[in-house]
């Protein structure tokens, strides 16, 4: 039986991880009116993310914002 990674499950691509982290902070620090729509294509273009990575950044930004309340 193989062990599954715990926590952020992004694999070993550190460049991708850094881009996701950057996108996460960018989203989390913007007011709602400052975030372009549709957001996933905007994140893909601005940070070079895949659709799945953009969704990861959105999820993590929501967690950051939720903890700030």
**Residue 6 banded pLDDT, cuts 50, 70, 90:** very low
**What are the boundaries of each domain within the chain?**
36-69
Note the pLDDT of residue 46: 96
Residue 4 has pLDDT above 70, yes or no: no
pLDDT value of residue 14: 61
The tens digit of pLDDT for each residue in 40-56 reads 999 999 999 999 999 99
| Sequence-ordered list of residues with C-beta below 8 angstroms from that of 60, at least 6 positions apart, any chain | 20, 24, 28
Answer whether residue 8 shows pLDDT above 80.
no
Report the predicted TM-score, pTM, of the whole model to 2 decimal places.
Answer: 0.75
């Amino acid at each position: 039986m193989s062990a599954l990674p715990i926590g952020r499950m992004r694999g070993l691509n550190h460049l991708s991880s850094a881009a996701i982290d950057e996108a996460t902070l960018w989203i989390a620090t913007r007011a709602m009116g400052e975030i372009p729509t549709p957001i996933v294509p905007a994140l893909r273009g601005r940070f070079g993310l895949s659709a799945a990575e953009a969704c990861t950044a959105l999820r993590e930004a929501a967690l950051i914002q939720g903890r700030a309340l």
